[in-house]
Amino acid sequence: MTALIPLLDSSSQKRPQILQLYQNLELFSEGEPAHNSLFVLGHGVDLIGGRRQQLLIVDPPADAAERFRLAEEVAALYTGDRRRAALPQVELLAGGVAHLRVGDHFLDVYVQRSGVVVYLPAVGVLLSGDYGSDALPPRIVPGSDGGDELETLRLLARLIKHENFQLYVPHVGTTVKEKVKVMERLAADVAYLHGLRRVVPGLLQRGEPLETIERIAESLLPEGRQSEAAQSVHAANLSVLTGIVEENTGLSN
């Protein structure tokens, strides 16, 4: 543990892992599968010329305010719909790219309808939110038919192929350094979403019962992502997609 984010209470059943990626940049991972948070520390100047610590936490734990000794100026940034920590949040507008600076670190924040992608170009760290996890399938946000999520996956693939890349960090799951392995994960996400978009509308239009749709759709889950948590995300995805199809086709009437 470095001096940047010392724990006040480290008595949890499984000790968290803290990895210093670069100066003033730390990855906090906890749980099984791991839930990842990025701590970015910087220094600012107040109105009278004094130095003040600044801290940005990407996807902080819900109890971050109670567990950590935080900087004077602290804010949270979320890559998806998370449990909200009791911290001020970075306000983002959907669409386009926001550019943030915290100390020596620059962050490009891609605000998609289906989530937020955070890229640190100087050090090649890419935070993907709900995409490219080896533990969970991608989440379909309410109101989407999966197309928004596919667009975010295309964005991630472009960043990995064409930009400086060193480390891939999903919100849940293990981190990856090899481009090939990341692309394999993204391809599995794409295949899963395409499968749902192909199978679910056809089954609904044929009048198949929900139990049949659920059984067939379960076979689309990527390999290694059949845990209880993965099944929960998948069930929510199926509910969102079923609702969209019924609304668009009038099958619910």
pLDDT reported for residue 48: 67
CATH number at 213 reads 3.60.15.10
Length of the chain: 253
In a domain, 8, yes or no: no
Mean pLDDT value of segment 70-93: 88
Q: At residue 3, does pLDDT exceed 50?
A: no
In a domain, 172, yes or no: yes
CB 100 within 8 A of CB 107: yes
Residue 33 makes CB contacts below 8 A (sequence gap 6+) with 133, 134, 135, 136, 172, 173, 174, 227, 229
Q: At residue 91, does pLDDT exceed 80?
A: yes
Angstrom CA distances, 179 to 10, 33, 120, 138, 175, stand at 34, 21, 16, 19, 11
Q: Are strands 125-129 and 115-120 parallel, antiparallel or unpaired?
A: antiparallel
Domain, as residue range, for 233: 17-249
In a domain, 69, yes or no: yes
Mean pLDDT value of segment 135-156: 96
- The mean-pLDDT minimum among 15-24, 58-67, 161-170, 239-248 falls in 239-248
For the chain, what is the domain count?
1
